[in-house]
A = this chain, B = another copy of it.
Amino acid sequence: MADVNLNVGGTIFQTTTQTLTKFPDTKLGSLKKNFSMDNSPTTFFFDRNPDVFNSILDLYRTGELHFPSYFCGATIRNELKFWQIDKTYVSECCLESLYRYDDEMGILSEIKSLQEKKVLDIPEDECREGCPRDFLWRLLQYPETSRKASVFSVVYLFMVLLSTSVLFISTDPDLRQPIGSTENATSSNDKTLMYTHTSVPTSIWIIDISCGIFFTLEFFIRVMVTPQRWRHFFCCPLNVVDVIVITAFWMFNCMVHVGPVFLHRKTFSFLVMILASARLLQLCRFYRFMCRFSSFDVINLAARASVGKFGILIALFTLSNLFFGYLIYYVEFDQRDSFNNAFVGFWWAVVTMTTVGYGDIVPTFFLGRVVAMLCALTGILILAMPIAIVTSNFTLYYAKLKQYTMHRKESKQKENCKKKEKKKKKNLCKTVSPISVLSVKPIR
């Protein structure tokens, strides 16, 4: 009955010619012309994995191509290629292992490209190793390369913390001192008057200026020694922010000391406020610092990967907010002073759906409360989805980064070991099996 023998890597598979001729376009189907005319079984040898071949042969036997879930997507693809079977033959129930592989490879390549982007060396022809430019660049960019660089890194972090503290402290009206003569700067609560009539104490002002000088110097040195063209350098958002922050900082300090003389009070107040709020961007320096940690990369990548899926969920969330916000406005129509317009309803809907629930606006009418209940439950369920996405992306990227880091570490150790071996002409790195090697002599 079985008139074809297939020897796949040593394992014999037997089947019939009818079976094999079902798919004539494939490799096994095209064997037909080699079949012997008499009924004696023909044997073909393929130097291939016999495990996967079981699934391949099942396509001919049952007409369906299923794969056990344990095969890696790359193995399936390799075998399909070899046996000249199209990917579209794979059954719908077995697509997962095939396409999950693409996802995982995508994640790995993202991780790799992010880690390569971080490495930005001065080309050897511009500057030898150890020249001042190279030294400064390593000092600023690679805290892990030398002791001095890591000390600088700590100093940088300290200055960032200091300038942020100053930023926050300078907004406290109780600490500020009235400018010039003790005018009628009575109501310290009136924030618009604060910047025109009071200034920070001298001690804090000195710290602030010191921080400013430090960051300005750091920035100019970075501009000088960067191996990137300036065109590329100023395309990087973090560098653009640095320019803005440094400009805003010096303009703000000039303004505060010189401004009141030249400018009208109102213009002055407005300009000061704009410049002060621009200094908020200096928080990006924390971001620059955090980029050095690989677990921050995970957050970054997970966030980026989630953005695509978020679009529609944010649209749905906004739509629900619009719906409930407009609904509550009409439902609480008879209540004075609580839902004055539909925008207030929208604000209330967001506060309710995120379960923040400030309680500044609360429905008091029976129907309004029913709407509120539905709104809260809808919000919990809609927000569960983006949370699920972020969570699963985070877990996935974290696991992959960990595996990749461990693998690269071992590869590097191996390379270093080989280099040393070459130098010493000794055989140090070979993984010698502690298990006794049995009988490798040929049996004749």
Task: List chain B residues, Cβ under 8 A from A347.
Answer: 369, 373
Assembled-state Cα–Cα distance A292/B57 (Å): 41
A2 interface residue per 8 A CB criterion: yes
> In the complex where A167-B326, A357-B356 touch, is A376 in contact with B390 (Cβ < 8 A)?
no
Stretch at the interface among A96-104, A114-122, A139-147, A198-206: A96-104
A312 and B290 within 8 A (CB)? yes
B283 and A323 within 8 A (CB)? yes
Contact of A171 among B101, B329, B359, B430 (CB under 8 A): B329
A330 interface residue per 8 A CB criterion: yes
Stretch at the interface among A77-85, A210-218, A246-254, A259-267: A77-85
How far in angstroms is the closest Cβ of chain B from A327? 6
> In the complex where A15-B10, A72-B66, A322-B164 touch, is A441 in contact with B358 (Cβ < 8 A)?
no
How far in angstroms is the closest Cβ of chain B from A304? 13
A440 interface residue per 8 A CB criterion: yes
Closest to A164 in B: B322
A189 and B340 within 8 A (CB)? yes
B15 and A47 within 8 A (CB)? yes
B49 and A61 within 8 A (CB)? yes
A357 and B362 within 8 A (CB)? no
A366 and B343 within 8 A (CB)? yes
Further contacts, 16 of them, CB under 8 A, given A2-B439, A171-B342, A277-B326: A10-B15, A27-B433, A31-B440, A42-B444, A43-B443, A62-B78, A68-B71, A92-B407, A96-B399, A172-B341, A192-B333, A309-B398, A343-B366, A354-B373, A358-B358, A381-B387
B1 and A434 within 8 A (CB)? no
A351 interface residue per 8 A CB criterion: yes
Q: Mark A317-350, 1 if CB is under 8 A from B, else 0.
A: 0010011011101100110110011110011001
Closest to A80 in B: B431
Task: List chain B residues, Cβ under 8 A from A45.
Answer: 1-2, 14, 438-439, 443
Assembled-state Cα–Cα distance A102/B406 (Å): 10
B47 and A19 within 8 A (CB)? yes
A21 interface residue per 8 A CB criterion: no
A384 interface residue per 8 A CB criterion: yes
A66 and B74 within 8 A (CB)? yes
Task: List chain B residues, Cβ under 8 A from A437.
Answer: 27, 82
B283 and A299 within 8 A (CB)? no
A105 and B93 within 8 A (CB)? yes
Contact of A351 among B191, B357, B380, B430 (CB under 8 A): B357
Chain A residues bordering chain B, tally (CB within 8 A): 173
A152 interface residue per 8 A CB criterion: no
How far in angstroms is the closest Cβ of chain B from A190? 6
How far in angstroms is the closest Cβ of chain B from A103? 8
Contact of A58 among B49, B91, B273, B295 (CB under 8 A): B49
How far in angstroms is the closest Cβ of chain B from A108? 6
Task: List chain B residues, Cβ under 8 A from A327.
Answer: 277, 280
Q: Mark A268-302, 1 if CB is under 8 A from B, else 0.
A: 00000100110010010011001001011001001
Assembled-state Cα–Cα distance A44/B70 (Å): 29
How far in angstroms is the closest Cβ of chain B from A277? 4
Report the 6 A-B pairs with minimum CB-CB distance, sorted nearest first. A1-B439, A356-B357, A358-B359, A10-B14, A388-B391, A10-B13
Q: Mark A223-242, 1 if CB is under 8 A from B, else 0.
A: 00000000000000000000
B383 and A383 within 8 A (CB)? no
Assembled-state Cα–Cα distance A225/B362 (Å): 47
Task: List chain B residues, Cβ under 8 A from A35.
Answer: 442
How far in angstroms is the closest Cβ of chain B from A335? 8
Assembled-state Cα–Cα distance A75/B61 (Å): 12
A86 interface residue per 8 A CB criterion: yes
Which of A27, A277, A364 counts the most chain B CB atoms within 10 A?
A277
A419 interface residue per 8 A CB criterion: no
How far in angstroms is the closest Cβ of chain B from A137? 25
A385 and B15 within 8 A (CB)? no
A156 interface residue per 8 A CB criterion: no
A153 interface residue per 8 A CB criterion: no
Assembled-state Cα–Cα distance A395/B390 (Å): 11
Task: List chain B residues, Cβ under 8 A from A209.
Answer: none
